[in-house]
Amino acid sequence: MSLITLPDELLLAVVDQLKTQADANALARVSRRLYNALNGYLYRRDLVCHGSAGWLWSVMHGIQPAVARFLALGTDVQPPGEGYTALGLAALRGHGAIVRMLLDVPGVDENSRGRFGRAPISLAAEGMHLAVVSLLLQRGHDPNVLDNGGLTPLCMAAGMRDDFKIAELLLQDSRIDVNRASMVGLTPLAQAATSGQERVTRLLLAANGIEVDKADDRGETPLMAAARWGSEAAARLLIEDGRADLNRGDGEGQTALCHAVLNGHEAVAKLLLDDSRTDPNCRDRRGRTPLWRAVWKLKQAMTKLLISDSRTDVDIKNSSGWPPLVWASRRGHDTIVADLLERGADPNATDPDGCSPIWWAASRSSNGADAAFTKLVNLTSVDANLKDSNGRTPLIMACMRGNQTAVKLLLARGVDRDAEDEQGMTALRWATQKQHWDIAHMLEERQSPGIEHSDCCLHGSSGAHDLTLESESHGWS
């Protein structure tokens, strides 16, 4: 007797003896007769042997006949322990017909999230499936639901760079809360600004009840987010809207301008400076202005942009007492020093230890004069004899560090070569102590009349000159 002529009962008995599902499927594909006889049995066998695996695979791949057959067999549409529910999986993959089939199953929990905690409408929004989102909204799904990542569907849609249609659809729902924030306080408007979504930003600004300055958990507003991420188009819309507070600070007191400066977004910084409402001298909790932060980060182009604004105060110190010019000189950024001096920065400003810009420039150990030092030493307004808190002049520092070129320029400037520090040490004595003999000879040759050679360490070493160098205030050896 041929296999295909066996009664169904015997065929099923044969299939039961097959060890693998693959063998059973192969048998069913031998002929239409075997397929019709075995197909339903194989679906049931799959459920018994593999749980929900075959069912969810059919949903994930959008195989409608298989889904319909599983449903006809009474499959549990919400299998326990799975990461996604069948409805959530279909929504994520954008299988609208299967979503509709599942929604029509009597008693189905449409809001069940599965182990991953993802609501079907959130998954559809994440997958950018407009038709599925629309279907779920029509079936009453909550457009303000938070998923396990703390985002609403609108927040997700606002962050999509390639599509604005889902955000537009959600905003048309009368139930939508346009200000519903994520678990960390991120609003849809902030998400759109962060992602540079110009069209979504425009839609949200036009929405009823939008809170333009609603801040997240760090105190960051949508405008600050646009400035931090360099979203020029979104920043322009927020500024032109007129409702955003341009000088509001975040939890650290940093304004939108400060965020743009710190992250090097010149176009956004210019947009803010071009608005008369922006205060370029706003200070954060540590007293730092945008200009101070630009100098601190050695951002030359941003520094030039800020000092080109007549409202910018170039001498405001941070809360530790550091002016921008002194910091730039300490870091050795010649161009920024020159730009600040040209803008009118005080060349005799000092840091908390009394160190001036020329003091820092003279203190560099390279045996040469950089552009910053040369510019400072040639400025008549610079006090080249200004001492730090230890009584050390720029000349003393140049001698300590062995900077012969700086010593020459300072001597040519006519500085006081006989000035003493708090230890009673002159520039000549420091040069000798540090064994910078060329500098010591240079100073000795120019020694003022009346000073005996016995007072300098080149001509004898008395106990008074055999000094042990104390720890120096600026950490140099």
CATH number at residue 156: 1.25.40.20
CB atoms within 10 A of CB 274: 10
The predicted model scores a pTM of 0.80
Identify whether 276 is part of a domain: yes
Task: For residue 55, give Cα distances in angstroms to 67, 75, 93.
Answer: 7, 8, 15
Asked whether residue 127 is domain-assigned, the answer is no
Mean pLDDT, residues 75-103: 83
pLDDT range class, residue 59, cuts 50, 70, 90: confident
CA 179 to chain centre: 23
Confidence band (pLDDT; 50, 70, 90) for 212? Answer: very high
Residues 305 and 372 in one domain: no
pLDDT band per the 50, 70, 90 thresholds, residue 62: confident
Q: Are 75 and 46 in contact (CB under 8 A)?
A: no
Q: Would you say residue 325 lies in a domain?
A: yes
Is the pLDDT assigned to residue 29 strictly greater than 50?
yes
pLDDT tens-digit series, residues 245-270: 999 999 999 999 999 999 999 999 99
Is the Cα torsion angle 407, 413, 417, 419 positive or negative in sign?
negative
Looking at the fold, whether 368 and 313 belong to one and the same domain comes out as no
Residue with tokens 């929604």: 103
- State the average pLDDT over residues 436-440: 94
Q: Residue 294: inside a domain, yes or no?
A: yes
Distance of CA 14 to the CA centre of its chain: 64
Q: Six-digit token pair at 24? A: 């059973």
Under the banding of pLDDT at 50, 70 and 90, the label for residue 193 is very high
- Of 91-95, 159-163, 289-293, 452-456, least confident by mean pLDDT is 452-456
Residue 466 banded pLDDT, cuts 50, 70, 90: very low
Do residues 227 and 292 share a domain? no
Sign of CA dihedral 468, 470, 471, 473: negative
What b/e readout covers 233-253, taking b as 16+ CB neighbours within 10 angstroms?
Answer: bbbbbbbeeeebebebbbeeb
In the structure, what pLDDT confidence band is assigned to residue 67 with cuts at 50, 70 and 90?
A: confident
Handedness of CA 231, 232, 235, 237 (dihedral sign): negative
What does the pLDDT read at residue 1? 59
192 & 230 share domain: yes
Query: 236 or 61: whose pLDDT is higher?
Result: 236
Boundary of a domain, candidates 334, 352, 370: 352
- For residue 468, the model assigns a pLDDT of 34
* Domain extent at residue 231: 143-245
User: pLDDT tens digits for 131-189?
Assistant: 999 999 999 999 999 888 788 999 999 988 767 999 999 999 999 999 999 888 999 99
Query: Is 224 within 8 Å of 253 (Cβ atoms)?
Result: no
- Considering the domain boundaries, does residue 122 fall inside one? no
Closest CA to 255 of 269, 236, 238: 269
Query: Is residue 339 located within the same domain as residue 281?
Result: yes
- The mean pLDDT value for 3-11 works out to 63
- Segment 288-341, tens digit of pLDDT: 999 999 999 999 999 999 999 999 999 999 999 999 999 999 998 999 999 999
Domain boundary among 352, 382, 409: 352
Number of domains in the chain: 3
430 sits in which H/E element = helix 427-433
Q: Is 235 a residue whose pLDDT tops 70?
A: yes
> Could you give the percent of the chain with pLDDT greater than 90?
64
Cα angle, residue 196 at apex, residues 194 and 202 outer, rounded to 5° = 105
- Distance, in Å, from the CA atom of 412 to the CA atom of 408, rounded to the nearest integer, reads 6
Answer yes or no: do 313 and 369 share one domain. no
151 near 118, Cβ under 8 Å? no
How much is the pLDDT for 471?
A: 34
Residues 311 and 416 in one domain: no
Per-residue 3-state assignment (H helix, E strand, C coil) for 391-425: CCCHHHHHHHHCCHHHHHHHHHHCCCCCCCCCCCC
Judge contact between 56 and 71, C-beta under 8 A: no
Domain check: are 359 and 475 in the same one? yes
* Cβ proximity of 124 and 140 under 8 Å: no
391 and 369 within one domain: yes
Distance CA 444, CA 438 (A): 10
Boundary-marking domain end, from 352, 382, 399: 352
Question: pLDDT grade, residue 106 (50/70/90)?
Answer: confident
Say if residue 129 is exposed, middle or buried (CB neighbours under 10 Å; 0-12, 13-18, 19+): buried
Same domain? 320 vs 360: no
Q: Find all residues with CB under 8 Å of 15, minimum gap 6, and list them.
A: 24, 27, 38, 41, 42, 45
The answer to whether position 153 is within a domain reads: yes
pLDDT score of 266: 97
If asked whether residues 466 and 358 sit together in one domain, one would say yes
The answer to whether 221 touches 190, Cβ cutoff 8 Å, is yes
In a domain, 412, yes or no: yes
Q: What is the mean pLDDT of residues 462-468?
A: 33
Classify residue 6: in a domain, yes or no: no
CB 68 within 8 Å of CB 95 = no
Residues 370 and 345 in one domain: no
